[in-house]
Amino acid sequence: MSLRDRLRWMIIAVLIAVLLPIGLYSYDRTLKETRELLDGRLAQSARTLDVLIRRAGLDALRLPAQASLEVPILSREDEVQRLHARTYETEVGYQVFDMHNRMRLTTANLARLPMPPTPVSGFDNHFFEGYGWRVFTLVDDVNNVVIRVGERDDSRRDITRALWLDLGLPQLVGLPLLAILVGWAVRRGLRPLERLRQALASRSPGNRQPIQLDHAPQELQPVVDALNAQLERLEDALERERRFSADVAHELRTPLASTMIHLDGVMAASLPADAEVALSSAQSGLARLARRIEQLLALARLEAGVAAGQRNEVDLIVVAMNVIDELAPLLGESGVEFAFAEHDDSLKMDGYEAALAALLRNLIENAMHHVPMGGQVQLSMHRSQGGIVIEVVDNGPGIPPERRASVFARFHRESSGGDGYGLGLSIVQRAAQLHGATIDLLDAPWGRGLRVRVVIPGN
């Protein structure tokens, strides 16, 4: 998960963790206050009715002793039809009893609600004609009346639903809106990091200019300074590697060349047979040492020098021809039949010319050193749908399939004779990695030998 997504979801989680408990607490408190207010309204209505009865008396109703007066209530349909609005008359009502539990005054919707045997002042709940009722009972011993005022529960549930909408809807709508705004704010806040990424991605290898970010935040400036210092140290290290490679090349090539010249001079003179064998062995050892040093230097150049350069358009056919011209003396002396069999007229690609040259040179040299006198080595290159395919095939002893995965390790020797596969394939692998190429070791089509296939994609 990216830093941007982590920040966005963490902020949203914090908002939910804060706003949701606050919303639930507000809902609970508001609902409690509303219920207390509604209960207070019931009690106040009962006491108001008690005062009116006390002033006028039940006798003012002029009712017979066993009779009661019923106050008509409009139904919900009549409310809408006559008043074009709801008055909620059916959801509230009252009853008035005398001390002999005889109903004297009632609203029509509570006319059949029975009187409890022993009325007690206070609140209680009743289920009556399919509805729950919240009822307040007032026992007036002075006025000798019992007054009951009730309100239907569904009226209170309407208030509860309204509270849910008033408190929940803003959060349901607000949280997604907050998530969008938080995402925008995080993207805007992390824009300096995006500019830093673009500056690093567009930075060319070998560039020693420090990274500059305009209007960088204070928290990011130490990171930019540390990156600049690290890049400077890295460039210094690469420069030291390049100088070291050049110095080693100069210091080792010259004495080796001088020693081999002297050996050639001594070999030209008349020598005893045992001395000639010893000098020949020494000359062969020096030749192997010289090749090993060249491989080490080539590997060092790939590790330090090529990676610091920029890719350029390279014609792979031209590179191959230059490598073949360079190896022409060695090919002539080896007694190996070499052929540049199949290739296009031009194979242009973006890459590191030095790395591609090292790849071809080591593939050909490895093949040459592992085929017998009179053996065959064939190089072919062509373009396919997967990219550019390079193949070097020989009719040498080959490599068993179970050992092919280990030959790319540095200083690995497949056999005790010759140079082995000590560094050549390591250089090939490193050059291939610089171009995102794949390497396959396959059986040669000639019945024996090895076929090395390198596929460079995207070209």
pLDDT score, position 416: 39
pLDDT score, position 407: 76
SS3 track for 362-418 = HHHHHHHCCCCCCCEEEEEEEEECCEEEEEEEECCCCCCHHHHHHCCCCCCCCCCCC
Q: Is the pLDDT of residue 32 over 90?
A: no
Span between the terminal Cα atoms of the chain, in Å: 32
Q: Who wins on pLDDT, 336 or 62?
A: 336
169-194 pLDDT, tens digit each:
777 777 788 888 888 888 888 788 88
Angle at 422 between CA 419 and CA 424, to 5 degrees: 95
Report how far residue 282's alpha carbon sits from residue 323's, in angstroms, rounded to the nearest whole number: 28
Q: Who wins on pLDDT, 251 or 370?
A: 370
pLDDT score, position 389: 92
Report how far residue 145's alpha carbon sits from residue 306's, in angstroms, rounded to the nearest whole number: 107
Q: What percent of the chain has pLDDT over 70?
A: 79
pLDDT score, position 158: 79
**How confident is residue 421, by pLDDT bands cut at 50, 70 and 90?**
very low
Q: Is the pLDDT of residue 65 over 50?
A: yes
Which residue in 353, 359, 367 sits closest to 318, CA to CA? 353
**How confident is residue 420, by pLDDT bands cut at 50, 70 and 90?**
very low
Which residue in 414, 358, 413 sits closest to 390, CA to CA? 358
110-135 pLDDT, tens digit each:
888 888 878 889 999 988 888 888 99
CB-based contact 70:108 (threshold 8 Å): yes
pLDDT score, position 75: 65
Compute the average pLDDT of residues 72-94.
66
Buried b or exposed e, range 184-221, using 16+ CB within 10 angstroms: eebeeebebbebbeeeeeeeeeeeeeebeeeebeeeee
